[in-house]
């Protein structure tokens, strides 16, 4: 396996049938996440910038409201695809990442992936939505991991239900939080430090919480798997909602995008009728 990482899986997106891949990188300098292996979900045939310009990012981001309305126009996603995602995609084209042998049964392939991440902390979806990956891939990426994080904007789609065990539902309004909780999801809410009516906690690794810990040491944002014996030092009970204030390069577009697309304000307040 390359020191940089490996291509864990290649296949077709259930969203539109386009070719996609899950690339695992083993090194990161991300202060918030800490030492986590990062899973990047990318189109195999389009670099991330070209994918956004053409609308091809739908294959990996689905109906996420933070996609651009026309290429990059109005894009409120926090990920700057011209940086790490583009660098990683180009490195894949150069052969810098090992390709796991896809021969053998699904169980054999899953075991290879799980062994490569034994006792690592794993971030599902450093870019791209983890719910577009097959359930067995999500299982293998997290099976032997020390901890993991995962978030999906596809939680309303029945085809994404297989990700509920591994991912938080990414919500942008209080009404979305209510809907996701009613459907059995744990929630990550971008827009406030708390939310009324739910057991919530501000992300302990966030600016507003004073960077009390890092994602690799936390374990809160692992979907239904959060209660699987992992120590949580800052709370006796596992909150159903983790909150954070808007952040990243797309913040300036966030309020307008949420209001126009969903019809509700992301920060505080009840959604508009």
What is the residue-level pLDDT of the chain in tens, covering all 273 positions? 568 899 999 999 999 999 999 999 998 888 889 999 999 999 999 999 999 999 999 999 999 999 998 999 989 898 999 999 999 999 999 999 988 777 778 999 999 999 999 999 999 999 999 999 999 999 999 999 999 999 999 999 999 999 999 999 999 999 999 999 999 999 999 887 778 889 999 999 998 889 999 999 998 999 986 544 444 443 446 789 999 987 555 445 555 445 444 554 433 333 222
With respect to residue 212, please indicate whether it lies within any of the assigned structural domains: yes
Torsions phi, psi for 38 (to 5 deg): -110, 130
pLDDT given for residue 225 in this prediction: 65
Residue 108, classified by CB atoms within 10 Å of its CB into exposed (0-12), middle (13-18) or buried (19+), is: exposed
**Which CA distances in Å does 122 have to 51, 125, 271?**
25, 9, 34
With respect to residue 141, please indicate whether it lies within any of the assigned structural domains: yes
pTM: 0.86
Rounded to the nearest 10 degrees, the angle between the axes of helix 135-142 and helix 106-116 is: 30
With respect to residue 185, please indicate whether it lies within any of the assigned structural domains: yes
With respect to residue 269, please indicate whether it lies within any of the assigned structural domains: no
Q: Residue 255: which domain range? A: 5-261
With respect to residue 271, please indicate whether it lies within any of the assigned structural domains: no
**Do 130 and 138 form a contact (C-beta atoms < 8 A)?**
yes
pLDDT given for residue 265 in this prediction: 41
**Do 47 and 72 form a contact (C-beta atoms < 8 A)?**
no
With respect to residue 273, please indicate whether it lies within any of the assigned structural domains: no
pLDDT given for residue 1 in this prediction: 58
pLDDT given for residue 187 in this prediction: 96
With respect to residue 272, please indicate whether it lies within any of the assigned structural domains: no
pLDDT given for residue 236 in this prediction: 47
Report the number of distinct structural domains present in the chain: 1
With respect to residue 267, please indicate whether it lies within any of the assigned structural domains: no
Map tokens 């952040």 to a residue.
Answer: 247
**Do 77 and 66 form a contact (C-beta atoms < 8 A)?**
yes
């Amino acid at each position: 396996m390359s020191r940089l990482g490996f291509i864990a899986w290649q296949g077709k997106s259930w969203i539109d049938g386009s070719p996609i891949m899950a690339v695992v990188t083993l090194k990161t300098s991300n202060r918030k996440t800490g030492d986590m292996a990062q899973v990047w979900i990318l189109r195999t045939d389009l670099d991330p910038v070209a994918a956004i310009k053409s609308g091809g990012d739908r294959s990996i981001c689905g109906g996420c409201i933070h996609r651009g309305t026309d290429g990059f126009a109005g894009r409120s996603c926090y990920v700057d695809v011209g940086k790490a995602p583009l660098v990683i995609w180009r490195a894949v084209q150069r052969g810098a990442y090992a390709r796991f042998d896809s021969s053998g049964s699904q169980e054999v392939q899953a075991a290879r992936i799980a062994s490569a991440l034994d006792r690592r902390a794993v971030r599902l979806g450093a870019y791209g939505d983890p719910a577009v990956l097959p359930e067995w891939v999500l299982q293998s990426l997290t099976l032997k991991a020390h901890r993991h994080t995962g978030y999906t904007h596809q939680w309303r789609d029945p085809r994404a239900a297989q990700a509920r065990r591994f991912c938080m539902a990414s919500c942008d309004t209080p009404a979305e939080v209510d809907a996701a909780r009613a459907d059995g999801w744990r929630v990550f809410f971008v827009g406030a430090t708390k939310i009324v009516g739910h057991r919530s906690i501000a992300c302990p690794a966030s600016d507003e919480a004073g960077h009390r810990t890092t994602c690799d040491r936390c374990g809160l944002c692992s979907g239904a798997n959060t209660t699987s014996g992992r120590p949580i030092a800052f709370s006796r009970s596992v909150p159903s909602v983790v909150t954070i204030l808007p952040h990243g390069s797309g913040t300036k577009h966030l309020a307008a995008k949420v209001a126009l697309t969903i019809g509700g304000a992301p920060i505080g307040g009840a959604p508009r009728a």
